[in-house]
Structure 1
Amino acid sequence: MIIDDDPKICLLFSKLLKQMGHEAYVASTMKEGLVLCNNECFDLVLLDLELPDGNGLQILPELMKTDSEPEVIIITGTGDARGAQMAFKSGAWDYVQKPFLLDEVSLPITRALQYRREKQTEKTPVSLVRSHIIGESDVIHKCLEDVAMAAGSDASVLITGETGTGKELFARAIHENSKRASKPFIAVDCGALPETLVESTLFGHEKGSFTGAQTRQDGLIVQAHGGTLMLDEVGDLPLKVQKSFLRTLQERRVRLIGGKSEKHVDFRLVAATNLDLDKMVKEKIFRADLLYRIRAMEIKLPSLRERENDIEEITIKKTYELARRYDIETKAISPEFFKTLAAQNWPGNVRELINVLEYALASAGQDPTLFPKHLPPEYRTAGLEFDAVPAKKSIQLPVGDLGAGDDLPTLKDYRTSIEKEYLKQLLKRVNGDREKANKISGISQSRLYGLLKKHNLSGFGSS
């Protein structure tokens, strides 16, 4: 499939592809290209970025989600680093700038189709062991694809994400789907270890090597031999320990504290953090060489705010698990309960949600169904609207203008007026882009809809 509005380019590619033994279809707009890709099966899409109805990057994710999941090569006359980065982040095979020689574009085409043939002839993959990872949202499926990729190699993996997003679950999933699954999975929270014990915990110690070392003790690195070592909150490792651990990673040998000889160790490293390690490197509190070693692959976990569609499934499954754990009757869950949960911001993510569900079960007691009344009070107020505008009064004040003289509005009316004016400006600026509106305003989609309804604003794209 060639998606380009330049007839000369389309003719050039059509002839080239025919010479290479392939059949080519042509579309001159994004809309036409998407329709064709949804109705036909394509192995490869050559996608121009400058099209009559927009930038080709807008449809790149949709193209790759069509039934045939084609490889995509970006063709553009105005290349820039940001565009290339976005294309590769979305999974594009290559990025070629006009003008180009035929050899410069025929090689990526050949390689992309060769890769596709190899991928299609692979054995049917074994179902992924999800290790209690719940959810079917697109962002979670992308993370699971990354887990499958990581499980197929022995490269070090860095898992990043906010607190409570399930970093250890994903680390376990990598281990359980790898060739090391039958060997130990050793997890340690670096942030929970006193600085004086980090080295002995990781590397082990000989008897008498320091005060309190009454017996010889293997460290967690040795215990993980043959399996996977997970360093949670790796950013909390002291600099001195970072240097020693880097050497162990490079040499695959470890020396116990107070020991005279080294021991070979074979382990796979999965590290995790909610910190910005690149920033820590610039501040010289984390070693750049260690970061390179632990980030051979990176999996970025989404926040619960980004997977709103998963909240209901997580709630159902976790409520059932908690009821079994505490040996109580399984509860039914009301629609209002789900709605209240969906209105939250969840700074603590899935871990916070589980804690709230434990509270709700305890609060419900013998009640057979969970309702919002069973939630902590601070969670019940999310989504509620206060200080509604009186129907009889409509005040139009510019932001920052309190009028003149003694004719001041009430504080309540002034806040309402400013809120409405802000929403009007927001709708104009985002031009119908819902995600952009959420990002700029800093509030959830459900909260934004509630405010629009409160002020009788007609929705995205108009006011």
Structure 2
Amino acid sequence: MPRVLIVDDDPMLCEALALAVQQMGFEADTAGTLKDGLGKARAGDFDVVVLDVRMPDGNGLDSLPGFQECPSAPEVIILTGAGDPDGAELAIRSGAWSYIAKPPTLNTIRLPIQRAMEHHRGKQNVLPLGLKRSGIIGESRAIHACMDLVAQAAATEASVLITGETGTGKELFARAIHDNSARADGPFVVVDCAALPEKLVESELFGYERGAFTGADRRFEGMVHQAHRGTLFLDEIGELPMAVQKAFLRVLQDGRYRPVGGLKELQSDFRLLVATNRDLEALAGAGAFRQDLLFRIRTMTIDLPRLKERGGDIARLCRHFVARQCRLNALPAKRVSPDYLDALEAYNWPGNVRELIHAVEHSLAAAMNDPVLVAAHLPTNIRVNLARNALPVRQPPRVEEGLRVGQPLQPLRQVRLQAVAEVESRYLRELLAACGGDIPKACAMSGLSRARLYALLKAYGLS
């Protein structure tokens, strides 16, 4: 029988919700604390968890990943009395099925539970067991969630927007969608929008006729034509010029386009996948990206995690790349030492998987005939970063201490360094307070990259 776990510190509400769940034909269990709820979720086979946000022993949103990682991977419905739109957004972006305000009525709680139950039961049968990974390595919960979305996307013809930082593997996931789709036997055409000069983007996409412009000494069939009966993947679509965005929107609407210098319209039957590491919503708000095009390309969205967020995958990826590089370069197999893996786990990886691959290649070159990779074989920039973060930071004295009357003045350089350190430390504390600890918001407000912000916070002992 389908099972629902209700985690709430209000006994009367738990009893009322349990009765409603039982009347729907499901089995219900309750827990009054997060600790008790997580224990029951890990031990039992639950399809749906109804989770309160404000619990005696913590915040339900903070425990959301813990419930999602339980063996049965239940759908989670967030229940709270706080009118918190930011919390609602965080819950949905974290994978919660729904977000319901207290006090729930039978009508407001029954339908989400029924829909969540149907989804949880249905996806067990929809996701193919033999899903082609197309080179994607990883078994973390974050990667499994992305692969579930790959399977869903592959079963449709919908446009998919793949987002994520540089080096997270956006093209690999696009390839996986294509390889598992009905178009797998057709072409997979990649267009790097950031690498094309603005004046050539339109001709590369739509092609051109001979004599259309200086240097066009032959007819060229564009990428849209080459993707006929296959998949067109536009990487870094945020770099697409506005004029081309308008023309491309028409292609998406009816599949028809006109080559540069051409008189007749042509037609192409292709499936569109796009990727970006930029915030297209913000670009659209600033007028740098067409809102109507954004609506068309994000029928589905797959947000790829940073490498640091892929628990357990760093060691797995490392061993895979070491074995692959040894095989490709005809090197004897090399082992990986525990201190090497510890160093990889401690590093922040701003370049994500791509940076990890380069680090492994550097390590193999530095190791030469050594049979085991150790931390000393890592690139210098990584070792320096780890060394700096490992040392305790001594807080500099306040600037005024070096300027007291009756004491010798310090060198100007020392005073300047102390002043900068004090101002930076105070600014970072105020920044965290203003953003409520939200790192992406802090990065946007300060203009710092995520890696630089983390480094400064570490340097000044802030979190």
TM-score by length of 2: 0.81
Report the equivalent of 2:10.
6
1:408-440 CA-to-partner distances (Å, cap 9, x unmatched) read: 79969x98xx89xx8xx99xx99xxx999xx89
Q: Quick one: which of 166, 180, 193 aligns to 1:177?
A: 180
Report the equivalent of 1:44.
48
Query: What's the offset of the Cα at 1:242?
Result: 1.1
CA distance in 1 between partners of 2:180 and 2:25 (Å):
39
Report the equivalent of 1:62.
66
Larger Rg computed on CA atoms? 1
Q: Aligned ranges for residues 241-280 of structure 1 at < 5 Å? A: 241-280=244-283
Structure 2 residue identity aligned to 1:303? R
CA distance in 2 between partners of 1:71 and 1:235 (Å):
33
User: What 5-or-longer segments of structure 2 have no aligned partner?
Assistant: 440-449
Which has the larger displacement, 397-406 or 8-17?
A: 397-406
User: What 5-or-longer segments of structure 1 have no aligned partner?
Assistant: 390-394, 453-458
1:86 to 1:182, Cα distance in 2 relative to 1, 3 A: same
- 1:332 and 1:370 in contact (8 A); partners too: yes
- 1:160 and 1:273 in contact (8 A); partners too: yes
The answer as to 2:349 corresponding to 1:346 is yes
Q: Percent identity?
A: 48
The answer as to 2:130 corresponding to 1:131 is no
CA distance in 2 between partners of 1:387 and 1:106 (Å):
52
The answer as to 2:320 corresponding to 1:321 is no
Which has the larger displacement, 260-269 or 372-381?
A: 372-381
1:171-215 CA-to-partner distances (Å, cap 9, x unmatched) read: 111111222111111101111112222112111122222222222
Structure 2 residue identity aligned to 1:79? G
Structure 2 residue identity aligned to 1:325? L
1:165 to 1:117, Cα distance in 2 relative to 1, 3 A: closer
Q: Aligned ranges for residues 123-272 of structure 1 at < 5 Å? A: 125-272=128-275
- 1:154 and 1:268 in contact (8 A); partners too: yes
Q: Quick one: which of 107, 110, 115 aligns to 1:111?
A: 115
- 1:304 and 1:350 in contact (8 A); partners too: yes
- 1:165 and 1:302 in contact (8 A); partners too: yes
Query: What's the offset of the Cα at 1:96?
Result: 2.7
Q: Aligned ranges for residues 437-448 of structure 1 at < 5 Å? A: 442-443=453-454
Q: Aligned ranges for residues 401-412 of structure 1 at < 5 Å? A: 401-402=400-401, 404=404, 405-406=406-407
Structure 2 residue identity aligned to 1:12? A
Q: Quick one: which of 309, 313, 329 aligns to 1:310?
A: 313
1:378 to 1:210, Cα distance in 2 relative to 1, 3 A: same
- 1:343 and 1:444 in contact (8 A); partners too: no
Report the equivalent of 1:356.
359
- 1:340 and 1:382 in contact (8 A); partners too: no
Structure 2 residue identity aligned to 1:26? T
Query: What's the offset of the Cα at 1:74?
Result: 2.9
- Taking only aligned residues, the RMSD between alpha carbons, in angstroms, comes to 3.9
CA distance in 2 between partners of 1:285 and 1:376 (Å):
38
* SS of match in other structure, 1:218: coil
- 2:395 and 2:460 in contact (8 A); partners too: no
CA distance in 1 between partners of 2:312 and 2:189 (Å):
32
- 1:44 and 1:72 in contact (8 A); partners too: yes
Which has the larger displacement, 198-207 or 243-252?
A: 198-207
CA distance in 2 between partners of 1:340 and 1:46 (Å):
39
1:22 to 1:255, Cα distance in 2 relative to 1, 3 A: same
1:7 to 1:316, Cα distance in 2 relative to 1, 3 A: closer
- 2:209 and 2:262 in contact (8 A); partners too: yes
- 1:129 and 1:173 in contact (8 A); partners too: yes
Q: Quick one: which of 97, 103, 109 aligns to 2:101?
A: 97
Number of residue pairs the alignment of both structures matches: 438
1:72 to 1:163, Cα distance in 2 relative to 1, 3 A: closer
Report the equivalent of 2:19.
15
Structure 1 residue identity aligned to 2:401? L
Structure 2 residue identity aligned to 1:402? E
Query: What's the offset of the Cα at 1:219?
Result: 0.9
CA distance in 2 between partners of 1:378 and 1:70 (Å):
42
* SS of match in other structure, 2:28: coil
CA distance in 2 between partners of 1:236 and 1:349 (Å):
21
